[in-house]
Amino acid sequence: MRKPTFTAWIGLAILAAYLVILIAGPHLAPFGQEDIIGSPFGDPEPGHPLGFDQNGRDMLSRLLYGGQMSIGVSLAAVLISFAVGIPMGFMAAIRGGWFDTILSRLVDTIMCVPVLISALVVLQALGSSLPVLVLTIALLDSTRVFRLSRVLAQGVGALEFAEVARLRGEGNWWLIRKEILPNVASPLVAEFGLRFCFTFLFVAGLSFLGLGVQPPFADWGGMVKDNQQAIVYGLYAPLYPAAAIAILTVGVNLVVDWMLAGRSAPQGDNR
C-alpha cells in the first residue's frame, strides 16, 4: 500500500476523531441525553457551545451520545453482513453447482428491489426495534458482500496454486483461509469502508424518516428530523447532526479513495 496522501491523512484524522466518539462519546458529554436544561432551540451560551435542541437539551451532549448509537448500529450491521456474505460468497465460488445457482439467483432477485424499499417492507411487518433494524440492514447488505466475495474467490480459485491445493486434498475451510482470504483481503477491506459509508447513511436516513433508531435514544438521523423545523427560522440546529453524518462519510471516502488508488472502481457505485 502506498504512502497516505494529504487527503488520506485528513480522512484518517476524521476517522480517528469519530472512533473516539464511538468509544467514549457519552463519557465526554457534559450533560445527559435526556436532561432538559435550556429553552427550545436556545442560542449557544458558555458551557453549551452548540446551543439547545427542540426540547431544550444540550446539543453537544446529544451529538456525543447519538454518535455512539449511529456509528455503533451501522458498524454492527456491516460486521454481520460481512460475517454472512463472505463465507456464503466463498462457499458458492468453491462448491459451485446447485448451491451457487440457488444463492446467486436469490441474491439477484433481492438486488432487483431498491434496498430502501425492501427495508421498508420488512420494517412494516416486524416494526422498528434495534435488533430488527440491525439484522434487516445486515442481511439486505450481505447480498452485495456475497456478490463481491464470490467474484473475488472465483478469480483466485481459478489460479494454479489454488488448483494445486485442491488436488493435494485440502478441505474447503483450509482453501478459504490459506489461499483465498490472503489474496482478496485488500479489496474486501476497501469494500468494508464503502459498505460502512452506505450503511451509515442508510441507518441515518431511516432514522430521519422516523423508522430507524427510536426515542428516547439520541441518534444523528433522528436529531436532524427532530430539529428540522428550526431551519425555517434560520437556526443551525439540524445542520449539526447532518454535518456530523456528512463529515464521517467524506472521511471514509477519502480513506477508501487512497486505498483504491490505481484501481478503477467509481465511488458510490453500489449505493
Partner 1 sequence: MSRLILKRLGLGVFTLWLVSVLVFAGTQVLPGDVASAILGQNATPEALDVLRRDLGLNDPLVLRYVTWLKGFATGDLGNSLASGQPVSELIGSRLMNTLMLAAYAAVISVPLAVVLGILVAVFRGSIFDRVMNVLALACVALPEYFLGLLLVLWFSVQLGWLPALADTYPGMGLGEWIKATTLPALTLVLVTMAQMMRMTRTALLGVMDQSYVETAWLKGLRAPRVVLRHALPNAAAPIVNVVAFNIAYLITGVVLVEAVFNYNGLGRFMVDAVAKRDLPLVQASALAFAAAFVLLNMIADIAAIALNPRLRHPR
Name which of 160 and 269 has its Cβ closer to partner 1. Answer: 269
Cell output for 97: 453447482
Q: In whole angstroms, give the CA distance from residue 30 to residue 118.
A: 39
Q: Which of 235, 149, 141 is nearest to 196 (CA)?
A: 141
Nearer to partner 1 (CB atom), residue 157 or residue 221: 221
Measured distance CA(255)–CA(15) in Å, rounded: 9
Nearer to partner 1, 110 or 165 (CB): 110
**Dist. CA 49–CA 60, nearest whole Å:** 7
What is the rounded CA–CA span in Å between residue 43 and residue 50?
A: 8
CB of 159 to partner 1, least distance (A): 26
Cα separation, 187 vs 194, whole angstroms: 11
**Shortest Cβ distance from residue 232 to partner 1 (Å)?**
5
Smallest distance from partner 1 to CB 57, Å: 20
Largest CA distance in the chain: 73
Closer by beta carbon to partner 1, 92 or else 230: 230
Q: Which is nearer to partner 1, 183 or 249 (CB)?
A: 249
> Quick one: 31 or 41, whose CB is closer to partner 1?
41
Shortest Å, Cβ 204 to partner 1: 6
At its nearest, how many Å lie between partner 1 and the CB of residue 30?
A: 26
Q: Which positions lie near partner 1, rule CB under 8 A?
A: 109-110, 112-118, 120-127, 197, 201, 204-205, 208-211, 224-225, 228, 231-234, 238-239, 242-243, 245-246, 249-250, 253, 257, 264, 266-269, 271
CB of 181 to partner 1, least distance (A): 30
Which C-beta is closer to partner 1: that of 21 or that of 242? 242
Closest distance to partner 1 from the beta carbon of 121 (Å): 4
Q: Using CA atoms, how far apart are residues 201 and 248, in angstroms rounded to an integer?
A: 10
